[in-house]
A = this chain, B = another copy of it.
């Protein structure tokens, strides 16, 4: 499948590399490829320069948000949650229409200090904001409840015995995303329901952050026992 991964941070890189490794044709979307490639030194998340990363992943393309989205069948929103709506506007409604839009972002609000709170929650969610802004896109919320390393390699913790969630209004889109997750090694994918249920998935972030602090590692996940 042709997949556009919007976002060049740790999450975009992890998903881009893993999906390419599964045989998909991956293009990373960014605001301006020349500027992105010209960056030197580590970024705020201590990731090495993207130019180095592309040298190590020669099969993966880089394009402006709109060009990446236009050429693909499935779009991954791997931007920071506060920037997601702006990035998707640059990708363009026409380039998102009819496509599965896998939203893995968290609407973290750092303006009130650490730990971050949420920019939207309770009676709305980032995923719903995206679905409302792009009604012709087939938004599926998933993977936002775990660290990037586990998204693409669930076996790193507890032999992969933990849970991923999908939320969305389009059953076929959820099936497509669930198949991608299964290919990545996820063995327990729970369909929470329509896109409104993304509220619950996004509202896991505060306890996830506390657990990272309490356990001293982000290599943790929720397993739903029943």
Q: Which A residues fall within an 8 A CB radius of B?
A: 112, 117-118, 121-123, 157-158, 161-162, 165, 167, 190-193, 197, 199-201, 203-204, 206-211, 213-215, 217, 219-226
14 A-B contact pairs sorted by A residue (CB < 8 Å): A118-B122, A161-B225, A162-B225, A190-B211, A190-B214, A197-B207, A200-B209, A203-B203, A203-B207, A204-B207, A211-B224, A217-B226, A223-B224, A223-B225
Say whether A220 contacts B224, CB under 8 Å: yes
With both chains docked as a complex, state the minimum distance between the C-beta of A29 and any C-beta of chain B, in angstroms: 29
- Secondary structure call for the A interface: mixed
Copies assembled? 2
B contact residues around A226 at 8 Å (CB): 157-158, 215, 217, 219-221
Report how far A131 CA is from B130 CA in the complex, Å: 37
B contact residues around A165 at 8 Å (CB): 207
